Amino acid sequence: MRHRKDYRKLNRATDQRLALLRGLVASLFRHDKIVTTVQKAKEARRLADKLIHLACRQHGQLAARRQVLRYVSDQDLVQHLFTEIAPRFAGRPGGYTRVLRAGQRRGDGAEMAVLELAAD
């Protein structure tokens, strides 16, 4: 039974799914916008919002940086998150990212979406 299982498995093993989500979130932080499938975008949004929230509320404390480093292994990207991305959302209570539908992919017809950092 799948009662209260509120995440998507994305047809992958746990280690592959976590690697995929970490890569999507790292790309989002690096480029501010990514294009992926709707299901992957919705799952990556959950993780990205948690990390941005942590960076906004902890104001660059060492413990917060280490928690973010568990998911984003690039030290420069974590620095970018704490110094440039988090101050943009400092006064915002949540909703740091948005998912916009972008039609179907030409090859297989998968529903695509744009995951982007919300503009302030």
Query: In the chain, what are the domains?
Result: 15-117 (3.90.1030.10)
Whole-number pLDDT of residue 110: 95
- 112: region left, alpha or beta (phi > 0 left; psi from -120 to 50 alpha): beta
C-alpha dist (Å) from residue 75 to 65, 66, 88, 101, 115: 9, 10, 20, 31, 23
Whole-number pLDDT of residue 4: 74
Q: What is the pLDDT along the chain (120 residues), one digit of tens a residue?
A: 767 767 888 899 999 999 999 999 999 999 999 999 999 999 999 999 999 999 998 777 899 999 999 999 999 999 999 999 999 998 889 899 999 999 999 999 999 999 999 976
Whole-number pLDDT of residue 120: 62
Nearest to 72 by CA among 30, 101, 107, 32: 30
